[in-house]
Structure 1
Amino acid sequence: MREVFAEKSLRSVGRGASHRKGRLGIRRNSAWVYVRRHRYLYLMLLPAVVYYALFHYLPLYGATIAFKDFSITKGILGSPWVGFKHFQYLFGLDKFWEVVMNTIIISFLRLCVGFPFPLLVALLMNEIRLALFKKSVQTIIYLPHFISWVILGGLMYNFLSIDGGVVNNLIKSMGSDAVGFMSDEKYFRATMVFSMVWKEFGWNSIIFMAALAGVNPHLYEAAVIDGASRWDRIWRITIPCIRSTIVILLILRLGNMMEAGFEQIFVLYHPGVYSVADIIDTYVYRIGLAEGRFSLAAAIGLFKSLINFVLLMIANKLSRMMGEQGVY
């Protein structure tokens, strides 16, 4: 009896294994058929994959110099390992924590002001019915995005400087003292944030306007018939319909909280405002390129990337808890 039972068990196991192999083969074949069917879409995706592989994933090996005493003559492979020596040195520096706090504060201000403003502009633009006026306004607010911070920095100094600046000349003509928008620590952060908003709000509103274009117009028609006001239509139809887009963009912004705008700050700041404007990226530039301490700069960059990754995971988890899809 035992031998018969054992033989039946082996047969059933064999049939189960062959069945699983058959299902796996079917899945592989169906996946290959799917790829062949959409081969042109995958060909369009190929340049982006190659770009990220070459310039984002392959250079990750260079992050190992954060754990080495890197020497240009020895190279990455020949440089000796030092473990967490550079991280211990960084965490003991008061200047490092100062630039971390500056980065967090500036990024938080940029998020609080720079994220809702493009959404507000997109909502206002969506209410405009005159096509010519709408296109003209869109063109005007998009233009600053295409101007580099080097040019805008020169314009800002001409407009906001204490000596000869247009704005301060106007303030002096009204009997008030000149304001150090670019030189006073009290005003420098606000100047950076509002100049960033002015430069980028038009470009950042494009995604919101694209999402608004996908809202079903029949919903608005039904709301008008029911007597809904314009504010009710915005609050109860427009915003709920684009909520998923808002959440995804917010998650991506939170994942870049440690990016406070290197190019803008590098053009505008000076030693007189280092205490409020020196961020992680500018600090890495000075100690990494100017002083040649590449391992220390790599350690700071790795620390910043880790914080961004953690913030991205937390933001995505919270969005999924609120019923949204998130970024993955």
Structure 2
Amino acid sequence: MRAAANITDSAPVRGGKPGKRPASRKRFWKTFRNQKYLYLMSIPFVIWVFVFSYLPLWGWTMAFQKYKPARSFFEQEWVGFEHFKTLFHDEQFLLSLRNTLAMSTMGLIAGFVFPILFAILLNEVRLSVFKRFAQTISYLPHFVSWVVAAGIVTKMLSTDNGLVNDVLLGLGLIHEPIQFMAKGHLFWGIVTLSDVWKETGWNAIIYLAAIAGIGPELYEAARVDGASRFRQIWHITLPGIRPTIIVLLIMSVGNLLNIGFEKQFLLGNNLVTDYSQVLDLYSLKYGLGMARYSFGTAINIFNSVISVVLLFTINGIFKRTTKESLL
């Protein structure tokens, strides 16, 4: 009887080890008591995220309705996936998707290569006065609105005393001014280069911070071993900022389709519509502009779903190959 009682008392609880859940709860409440002020400080941000990020998801139901603003939720006509079927059979949607993928991919590549190169070059500058001056000048375009930036770009590419055409004419590379803003096949490059000019300095800040966190003793040891500056960059600087590069790359790929519409709207015109129209402009024009609210919601759902899929996909790839991930 005593042996049976011992066996009964030591038998594991179904679903795991005995006392595992109570111990976890105790640890949680102990941590909560020790860090209660941090938890209290996070409450406003949690509320903000819930109100502006999760609560609006209720509006996704409009994509499955023939939404009429004058009707209540229960009076709406449900149409299932009709708007999504219309979406994937629309040539303008496919054109917008092509333009979005093209410009976002070009922007992703340029938006990573140029800030990293710029940060490394600034880190190699030994004259502190020039370094601070270059940093300040490179940050300034970020604080200029796209309305002003688009006006500057348009003026520089103008055929009437535009800087780019004047330089090309002066060097003898062209014989007559080029109408850059009227050529659709040049629009993607113009948008990408404009974004590089505007955001390179700002995006380089985080890489400069990551480089500053690399121990100087590593560079000293490399110099003692006779490593050149290029070798130090290749074997110390780039590996040192690799985690930062991976995290930012994962986040950027997740937002591949969410490139906005300001640049395309301000730099585009009727002559380059086939190259300037992106998904956000398509949603604005054919959804909100034509009072097709359900159709516009379906477009935004497509963007969100694809972004989540891309985020988890690229995160899984990096997790398997580099053992580093965001999620």
Name the TM-score, length of structure 2 as normaliser: 0.92
1:253 counterpart = 2:246? no
Aligned residues of 1:106 and 1:189 also touching (Cα < 8 A) = yes
Matches of 2:74 and 2:203 in 1, distance apart?
Answer: 42
What is aligned with 1:275?
Answer: 274
Secondary structure of the residue that 1:190 maps to in structure 2? Answer: helix
Counterpart for residue 94 of structure 2: 97
Contact 1:247 1:324 in 2 (8 A): no
Aligned to 2:23: 26
Match of 2:142 in 1: 145
Q: 1:140 to 1:82 in 2, by over 3 A?
A: same
What's the counterpart of residue 190 of structure 2?
191
Q: Give deviations 1:241-289, integer Å, cap 9, x for gaps.
A: 1111111111111111112331111111122111111110110011122
1:194 partner amino acid: L
Q: Which residue of 2 aligns with 1:128?
A: 125
Give distance in 1, aligned partners of 2:48 and 2:149.
30
Do the aligned partners of residues 135 and 75 (structure 1) sit closer, same or farther apart at CA in structure 2, a change above 3 Å counting? farther
- For residues 278 and 109 of structure 2, what CA distance do their matches in structure 1 show? 18
In structure 1, what is the equivalent of residue 302 of structure 2?
303
Give the secondary structure class of the aligned counterpart of 1:182: helix
Query: Between the two proteins, what is the percent identity of the paired residues?
Result: 40
Over the aligned positions, Cα root-mean-square deviation in angstroms equals 2.2
Shift of 1:167: 3.0
Counterpart check, 1:159 vs 2:156: yes
The alpha-carbon deviation at position 8 of structure 1 amounts to 6.5
Alpha-carbon distance, 1:25 to partner: 2.4
Superposed CA deviations along residues 40-62 of structure 1, whole A, max 9, x for unmatched, are: 33344333322211111111111
* 1:201, distance to aligned residue in structure 2 (A): 0.5
Q: Name whichever of 268-277 and 191-200 sits farther off.
A: 268-277
Would you say how many aligned residue pairs link Structure 1 and Structure 2?
Answer: 324
Is this contact kept in 1: 2:265–2:276, CA < 8 A?
A: no
Equivalent residue number for residue 56 of structure 1: 53
TM-superposed deviation, 1:30: 1.7
**Map of 1:155-304 to 2, 5 A cutoff?**
155-172=152-169, 174=172, 176-304=175-303
The residue identity in structure 2 corresponding to 1:78 is E
Deviations 1:19-39 (A, max 9, x none): 967442232122122122223
Do the aligned partners of residues 166 and 236 (structure 1) sit closer, same or farther apart at CA in structure 2, a change above 3 Å counting? closer
Alignment pair present for 1:88 and 2:77: no
1:119-171 per-residue CA deviation (whole Å, 9 max, x = no partner) reads 11111111122222211111110010010001111222222122443433454
Do the aligned residues in 2 keep the contact of 1:65 with 1:76 (CA within 8 Å)?
Answer: no
User: Aligned pair in 2 of structure 1 residues 264, 77: CA closer, same or farther (>3 Å)?
Assistant: farther
Letter in 1 for 2:30: V
Q: Secondary structure at the match of 2:175?
A: coil
In structure 2, C-alpha distance between the alignment counterparts of 1:139 and 1:44, rounded to whole Å: 34
The CA distance in 2 between the partners of 1:314 and 1:277, in whole Å, is 28
Q: Which moved more, 1:43-52 or 1:83-92?
A: 43-52
Going from structure 1 to structure 2, the CA distance change for 1:21 and 1:11 (only over 3 Å counts) comes to closer
**In structure 2, how many angstroms separate the alpha carbons of the residues matched to 1:43 and 1:143?**
37
| 1:220-251: CA deviation from partner (whole Å, max 9, x where unpaired) | 11111111111111101111111111111111
Say if 2:60 and 2:297, in contact at 8 Å, map to a contact too.
Answer: yes
8 A Cα contact 1:287 1:293, kept in partner: yes
Q: 1:289 to 1:164 in 2, by over 3 A?
A: farther
**Structure 2 unaligned regions, length at least 5:** none
Instruction: Please point out which of 78, 85, 88 is paired with 2:75.
Output: 78
Q: Indicate how the Cα distance of structure 1 residues 266 and 23 shifts in structure 2: closer, same or farther if over 3 A, else same.
A: same
Contact 1:62 1:76 in 2 (8 A): no
Contact 1:158 1:165 in 2 (8 A): yes
- Distance in 1 (CA, whole Å) between partners of 2:25 and 2:207 is 39
Q: Which moved more, 1:276-285 or 1:262-271?
A: 262-271
* Counterpart AA for 1:101: R
Mean CA deviation greater in 117-126 or 153-162: 153-162
Deviation for aligned residue 1:85:
0.3
Deviates more, 1:194-203 or 1:268-277: 268-277
Deviation for aligned residue 1:109: 0.8
Q: SS of 2:178's equivalent?
A: coil
Distance 1:41 1:11 in 2: 41
Matched, 1:42 2:39: yes
Compare 142-151 and 50-59 and name the one that shifted more.
50-59
Q: If the length of structure 1 is used for normalisation, what is the TM-score?
A: 0.92
Is the 1:171–1:177 contact (alpha carbons within 8 Å) kept by the matching residues of 2? no
